Amino acid sequence: MSAHNRGTEFDLSWISKIQVNQPAVLRRAEQIQARRTVKKEWQAAWLLKAVTFIDLTTLSGDDTSSNIQRLCYKAKYPIREDLLKALNMQDKDITTAAVCVYPARVCDAVKALKAAGCTIPVASVATGFPAGQTHLKTRLEEIRLAVEDGAMEIDVVINRTLVLTGQWEALYDEIRQFRKACGEAHLKTILATGELGSLTNVYKASMIAMMAGSDFIKTSTGKETVNATFPVAIVMLRAIRDFFWKTGNKIGFKPAGGIRSAKDSLAWLSLIKEELGDEWLKPELFRIGASALLSDIERQIYHHVTGRYAAYHDLPMS
């Protein structure tokens, strides 16, 4: 990943006069969704690119060391070897960007990836995921323990109450403490945008999170009723662009929740390309949080190579 975002001093003037033009955002979102997707070999190339952005995720109550092991194996070998050979991509070392798990499973993931002989980072959710409604002291300790266990990236959730009540400096202070607790690990801040009430709040929360030192801003936990949507993404991406213009710092973006089809992933890639440019289309600055997405991408690549759709037993799942 790229160097840490050191953040800036708290400055309310960056957000105090902001008002998001919702109809314009919705029009832009419709444009993106209506666009025809790339076809044939260009589609296969874009889908392989999409694989390298995936934070392959399992956040279930019934996670065990054995399904974490399978997940890690799938992260290292996301696409069947014979399919990669058919595309002449077998020596390109295509893996997912990271593996994302609960804090208690970080040790299992680190161990499994080490056994597989790969350097894919482990990301851990933290800070009372998904609601963030635990004591600050507990939330900070959760970050420290995940980092101790070997997590290289921490996906924290913000306290939505602070956004909904306009306590921007308190939000800044909390994220600043998360940043400090992460040490050398990268900080990805989940805004849970479906619970922030308005697109204006989404912009403000994005800007505060970046000011406070977030390396990435992320749409959702995947557990809310509304997760990654294009209108929210456009607002967050414009905030990233504004922050870059103000500070020269490039902050990453991670949509998560509900991104399940290969076609969806292509729309997200084109949105990033259009809003922020090609320099953001790399795992250091763009991730997709997903669990089911990889299976569909592999099925589409299988179809491209063989001309038929795979039966479920043709493709091993993590």
Contacts of 258 (CB under 8 A, 6+ apart): 222, 227, 228
Q: In what order do the strands lie in the sheet with 153-157?
A: 252-254, 216-218, 186-190, 153-157, 122-126, 98-101, 54-57, 288-290
* Cα distance between residue 44 and residue 46, in whole Å: 6
Establish whether 254 is a catalytic residue: yes
Establish whether 218 is a catalytic residue: yes
| Catalytic option among 218, 246, 273, 282 | 218
* Cα distance between residue 187 and residue 25, in whole Å: 27
Q: Which of 266, 236, 235 is nearest to 53 (CA)?
A: 266
| Catalytic option among 188, 204, 250, 254 | 254
Q: Which of 21, 36, 30, 46 is nearest to 230 (CA)?
A: 30
**What are 288's strand-pairing partners?**
54
Residue 51's Cβ-count burial label (10 Å; 0-12, 13-18, 19+) is buried
Contacts of 239 (CB under 8 A, 6+ apart): 203, 206, 207, 210, 217
CA 65 to chain centre: 23
* Cα distance between residue 98 and residue 72, in whole Å: 9
* Cα distance between residue 175 and residue 7, in whole Å: 10
* Cα distance between residue 309 and residue 292, in whole Å: 17
Contacts of 293 (CB under 8 A, 6+ apart): 50, 54, 259, 260, 261, 262, 264, 265
Tokens of 32: 């993106």
Which active-site residues does the annotation give?
218, 254
